[in-house]
Structures are given as structure tokens and as C-alpha cells.
Amino acid sequence: MYAFVLDKNLEPLDPCHPARARKLLNNGRARVFKRYPFTIVLLDRTVEDSVTHPHRLKIDPGSKVTGMAVVQEQSYRVTHALEIEHRTEQIKNALDSRRALRRGRRNRKLRYRKRRFLNRICPEGWLAPSFESRVANVETWVGRMIRVCPISALSMELVRFDMQKMQNPEIRGVEYQRGELFGFEVKEYLLQKWERKCAYCSAKETPLEIEHIQALSKGGSNRVSNLTLACRPCNQAKGNKPVEAFLKKKPDVLKQVLAQALAPLKDAAAVNSTRWELLRRLKGYGFPVETGTGGRTKFNRKLRNIPKTHWTDAACVGASTPERLLLKGVRPLIVKAKGHGRRQRCRTDRYGFPIAHAPSQKFFMGFQTGDLVKADIPSRKYAGKYTGRIAIRYRPSFKLSTLEKSFDVHPKYLKTIHRADGYEYRL
């Protein structure tokens, strides 16, 4: 993966190969500016002295993970890739917990906060907190990429499933919403809905075919609620039999198939709920924004024989995808949203009674919870060198967490290498 480069005025230059970055650092011509994403500052270069090339930032928004890829538009090389893991479920669970605590206090006739749901008006563009977190994460990282790379255009997967793509190009108005899914769109929808496995035998890693739960010859329809995925043996064995007769000896599978057929696609619905707000915020950066569908993304990826991951999906978004993408040597930076601390200042026990108040002070002895540090411990049980994250206490004994273990350490043995910014990183 390439390293980002800034000039001495902190203006973005073209990313460089890691070997080139090491050479510049060893020769004293550059300094490390940021570890994640890895960025160096050239001490003897400005934008006027250099030649920069346009780069395109491509985004594949997801409910749980969003993929990003930076593509150099002349060489078609993917210079950087990200996978951002959102914390939407954590936010939802925290709000559910808070609501339960408040409801319990009201029922027990204790001191409580009155319910407020009829006297509040949501502002225009308001999103649920879990949705807002997802959009804000993407917006944050788009801004960070623009600051360290000469981005000239953006591409975004706007819709995961196009309900009428290529079915009837002349359709207009409300009729557009009454069409049926078609082609790559319907297949991709079903792959997501049925978790990429055969509905009847749960076979994975095998070619799957679109199957009518109730056969067309028996009065079935082409509606998505009547479609599933099946492997070739199951598809041929079922034929036009009623699904109840075919799965007569598998009542649990029958119950699951009938329930899943009518189940909504929760993750796709969440992405669709935030897509227009994300597009509006991306346009605010002043760059041209290209949009595409999930079916187009999959078509581009299959045509180029690229394995499916979040960041490769991002690299294949939109019509701007070149015939040949250079992906060799790219390892995505995994970015996990962790939040910036406890917003609820009063902590309660399981009965809803206050037990502690979180201190307002965030720093102690120059450190903050979430800082990535290097520890050089000279003696005793944990003697050695470690790299990990710390949780501060308001005394000289911090908790250091590494991949292998966690233990207490005195801050005099610590050196900060990346300040806490609300995200956790790994390669």
C-alpha cells in the first residue's frame, strides 16, 4: 500500500511507494506526519515544484462495513484502500438500554425524566443516531483522504438494488416503482437476502440459480417475495412441486424458507435510508460525484475477475471503472469506529440508581484513553517492548491492551505514537 505525501506547506502530493518513503525518511528529507493512514511530510518540496496526478476516491457504503479505494486516474492503480467498520449496533443497544432504565424508574415511581415524544420536531435532514453515525464516519474519512491525497473526483454506490434497471427504459412517474427487479439487480438482491447459500440444503461456494418458491406453472409470480436461490441439484429435484411437498421431511427448513421469503432486507434498507444524505454531503466538497448501482458494481467486478471484498467493491463502483485495475500489493487499512467516550456522564447500576459520575477531565499526564503507544518496560514481570492502546486512570497506573494480553503500566514507560481519534486501526 502506498504512503501519502504532503509538501512542506502540508499540501497533498502524489502517494509514493513504501520503499521510496523509507528512503526519504532515512535520508532526512521527510518526517512522519501521521501513522494512520501513514503520511509523510517532505521538508524540501512544495506543490509548485512537483507534478501531481488526479485521483478518484470511490466509496461503497454498507450497513456494517463501508469500503473505500483511491484510484490513480492515469495509471489505474489502487494506491490506498480502507474498510470502515461502523458501530451502529452499539449505538442502538446503548439507546435501548437508556430507554429501559428510564422506563423502569418511571414504573417504580422514582425520580425520573419525563417522556418527550410529542413535543419535539425533528429538523430537516434528521437521521436516527445509528444512521447519523454511519454517515458521519464516511464523511470524516472522505475529508481525511482529501487532505492527504490530490483527489479530483468522487464515486459512490448510490443504490444497492435498482427496482427497474433496463426492464423498461420508457417507464415514467409512479410506474417506475411498480416494476420488478431484473438481471444483475435481482440476483444481487437475492444473494444478500439468502446469505449466498442454497435455501434448501444450505450449500455454499457453489453456483446458485434463481428459484421460484411457488412454480410459475402452479400460479406463482415473479415477485421478489416468491424468489429464492437454490443449487442445481435442489432446483432440478424440486421442479414445479409445491415447496410444502418438497420439504415435507424438513419442517424446520420449510418454516425458515417461508419466513425468510417475506423478511425485509434490513441492511439494504439501512443503506437506502442514508444514501441521499450521504450524497448531499459529498457534493458539499465541491468535487464532481459519480453514482452507480450495486448491480453495476458487481458487473464490473465479475468482468475483471476481482475477488469480492468491501474495498474491491469500492474500486469497481460506477462507469469510471477502467478495463484493468492494478491491485497488486494492496492491503486495506481496517478502521473500526470506537466513539469518543461516554456521552452519558452518570453511570447507573442494573436497577437504574446512580453509582458514579464520569470525570469531565479527559487527559492525565499527557495521555488519553484510546492513545496508541509504545511501551518499553525495563524489568519485572512484564519486561519487554509492547505496542497497544491505553485506558487511563487518574493515577500513574494505566491499562495497556495489546493483541496478546492486558496489564497495568506506569506512564513513564510509554510513548505516544498515534493520538486517540475515535477509531481503532489494524492491517
Helix%, strand%, coil% for the chain, nearest 5: 30, 25, 40
Rounded mean pLDDT of 293-317? 91
Q: Is the peptide bond before 37 cis (omega within 30 degrees of 0)?
A: yes
| Alpha helices (runs of H) in 15-126, residue ranges in sequence order | 18-26, 88-107
Asked whether the predicted pLDDT for residue 51 surpasses 80, the reply is yes
Residue 24 has pLDDT above 70, yes or no: yes
Residue 370 in grid coordinates: 484510546
Helix (H, G, I), strand (E, B) or coil at 32: strand
pLDDT exceeds cutoff 70 at 181: no
pLDDT of residue 344: 64
Q: Look at the block and give the residue holding cell 492515469.
A: 74
Residues 331-341 have pLDDT tens digits of 999 999 988 87
Q: What is the pLDDT of residues 224-233, one digit of tens each?
A: 788 889 999 9
Q: Are 376 and 353 a contacting pair, CB within 8 Å?
A: no
Annotated domain spans of the chain: 3-49, 176-266, 359-420
In this predicted structure, the answer to whether residue 402 has a pLDDT above a threshold of 70 is: yes
Q: What is the pLDDT of residue 352?
A: 67
pLDDT, one tens digit per residue, over 76-122 is: 999 999 999 999 889 988 888 888 888 888 888 887 778 877 777 88
Evaluate whether the domain defined by 176-266 bears CATH number 1.10.30. Answer: yes
Can you tell me the distance from the alpha carbon of 35 to that of 199, in angstroms, rounded to the nearest whole number?
45
Per-residue pLDDT tens over the stretch 310-325 = 999 999 999 999 999 9
How far is C-alpha 188 from the geometric centre of its chain's CA atoms?
19
**Whole-number average pLDDT of the chain:** 86
Q: How far apart are CA 33 and CA 13, in angstroms?
A: 14
Under CATH, which architecture does the 359-420 domain have?
Answer: Roll (2.30)
Mean pLDDT of 129-152: 94
